Amino acid sequence: MDKISPETRSRVMAAVRSKNTGPERAVRTLVFALGYRYRLHRNDLPGTPDLVFPGRKKVIFVNGCFWHFHQRCAGFRAPKSRVEFWEGKLTRNRQRDRVNQRALRKLGWKVMVIWECEIKELARLQRKISEFLDSAAEIG
């Protein structure tokens, strides 16, 4: 059932390891390999979604586990210093995410969030992406 080639797999995993835009680039590579076409960073949409599928009216956000405060996550480590500062900042990031997602839904867009930590399980992620993009249902 593995639709992607070993070459794609290794390109995705190499992107995961690269810094900064790693997770986002990995998801883009995977989505493209699965045959879907998208636009990037439509800044006229709330939250500037990372991948936009205008024909399907769907968007994907690729969230870093730290900056987007993925609390129940092995990849999230609460900072040990300046705890209040970080708690405030990360909580605000998460609230902003929620506000943006709600605004998108109100505009009729379906929203999927992919967490950085999910990219390690490529087969599962691949299934999740296909389900989201092919169906009328929404996957959070």
Residue ranges in contact with Zn ion by CB under 5 A: 65, 70, 73, 75, 115, 117
What's the closest the beta carbon of residue 98 comes to Zn ion, in angstroms? Answer: 17
Cβ distance to Zn ion smaller for residue 53 or 118? 118
* Closest alpha carbon to 27 in 43, 57, 4, 46: 4
Determine contact, residues 96/103, Cβ cutoff 8 Å.
no
Residue 125 C-beta: closest distance to Zn ion, Å: 12
Contact 52, 39 (CB under 8 A): yes
Which residue number is nearest to Zn ion in terms of Cβ? 73
SS3 state of residue 65: coil
* Residue 65: CB minimum distance to Zn ion, A: 3
When the beta carbons of 111 and 114 are compared against Zn ion, the nearer one is: 114
- The burial of 118, by beta-carbon neighbours within 10 Å (0-12 exposed, 13-18 middle, 19 or more buried), is given as buried
Amino acid identity of residue 17, one-letter, is R
Q: Measured from the CB atom, is 92 or 120 closer to Zn ion?
A: 120
Q: Quote the least distance from Cβ 23 to Zn ion, whole Å.
A: 10
Interstrand relation of 58-63 and 51-53 (parallel, antiparallel or unpaired):
antiparallel
118, 124 contact by CB (below 8 A): yes
Q: Between 15 and 53, whose beta carbon lies closer to Zn ion?
A: 15
